[in-house]
Amino acid sequence: MPAGSRIGDGLALGDDLLAAVDRAVAAALGPLGGTRPDLACVFVTGSAPGLAEAALLRAGEALGARNVVGCTANGVIADGHGVEGVPGVSVWAASLPSVEVRAFHLEVLRTSDAIAVLGMPERRDDDVVGVILADPWSFPVDGFVAHSHDALRGLPLTGGVAGGSAAAGDTRLLVDGRVHDRGAVGVVLGGDVAVHTLVAPGCRTIGRPMTVTRAEGATILELAGRPALQQAKDAVSTLPDDEQPTAVRGLHLGVVVDEYADEHTAADFLVRGIAAADHVTRSITVGDVVPVGSTVQFLLRDPVAAHADLAEVLVAFRSRMGLAPLAGALLFSGDSRGGSMFASPDHDVEAVRGALGLDSVAGFFAAGEIGPLGGRNQVLGLTATVLAFGT
């Protein structure tokens, strides 16, 4: 990315969401020194769908950017803070000389026996990364992301699943002056752009790796030839006595990305929530289909491990970059990370700003994070996913 790139961010809270939009936009545009943004992102939390839509539209108009995307969220991030549970707006604006930005809106076409996703731009040779914001109710995000590596010829994707919606149709997605209540929106960045995607997990492994030996859809009946629920109990029993009573609430299942690795750490697993446990069949049901033969391991949601993993990822990246400056970053944090995991919902954004020496970091708490892991795009969970922009 050529010199002269500038990125700003803004955060504003309050029940008067339209007034908050004006304040957040003004803060985000300040560092650009009057330059028109090439790309802007807007995230809104804590409001009814109609007001959120009005806020997104107002932000898009006030920014005057060449390309604007945004969505409703479970919480928003900007200005060094994470915000949950109160109405707020975060805005991220970037002047990116010599970078081509192509916005898109993905729609779903359903037939009696198939689902097709329409609207994704064709991959170009100089495309570098895509950013996608998806509605969890109407868009097949898991299937789309799983097939994106082949369909988009290896184009990395990052972004998140929109949140803050209690029912289908409540999500709001913004792209270039229009608001949608379904599908997905995003941008593809190409040309002279230096971007770096970082993924940090939020769990630690417990128990041992096992093979799925019997399953029906998303219900796992057996792991390593034994009832899956019993294997979960055995994994919890390996924890210290004082951790076991609360472990069940933080227990997840990790599905290994690379079956050929000799050893696995928490960073090698796709995190999937455990939706139900059946004490009659002694099975567990997870938030995804896990095929027979897959290697899995139980994971525990853990703030100490999450803090250490994020710090390690950021320090390693900063070391690889040397003295190369960065202009800003987008941050997509799992919605179980904020204040429910750490002492403050500011944790992830403070860590990114401090380790990377950045002021302009914005994003949202996602209902699922999207990023590359194991050489392919994945729908993640409990992670902090960062898209850092060079200058």
Domain boundaries, the chain: 6-200+307-390, 203-300
Could you tell me if 201 and 385 are in contact, meaning their C-beta atoms sit under 8 angstroms apart? no
Please, what is the average pLDDT of the chain? Answer: 95
Residue ranges of the chain with pLDDT lower than 70? 1-4
Cα torsion angle, 376, 377, 383, 388, sign: positive
- CA terminus-to-terminus distance, the chain: 6
Could you tell me if 218 and 287 are in contact, meaning their C-beta atoms sit under 8 angstroms apart? yes
pLDDT of 387: 98
Q: pTM of the full predicted structure? A: 0.93
- CA 213/CA 295 separation, integer angstroms: 10
DSSP state at residue 57:
H
Which structure tokens are listed for 308?
């250490």
pLDDT of 191: 95
Instruction: Write phi, then psi, for 99 (nearest 5 degrees).
Output: -105, 130
The residue assigned the tokens 């945004």 is 70
pLDDT of 261: 79
In a 10 Å sphere around its CB, with 0-12 CB exposed, 13-18 middle and 19+ buried, how is residue 166 labelled? exposed
pLDDT of 2: 44
Q: Are strands 39-45 and 68-73 parallel, antiparallel or unpaired?
A: parallel
The residue assigned the tokens 């987008």 is 330
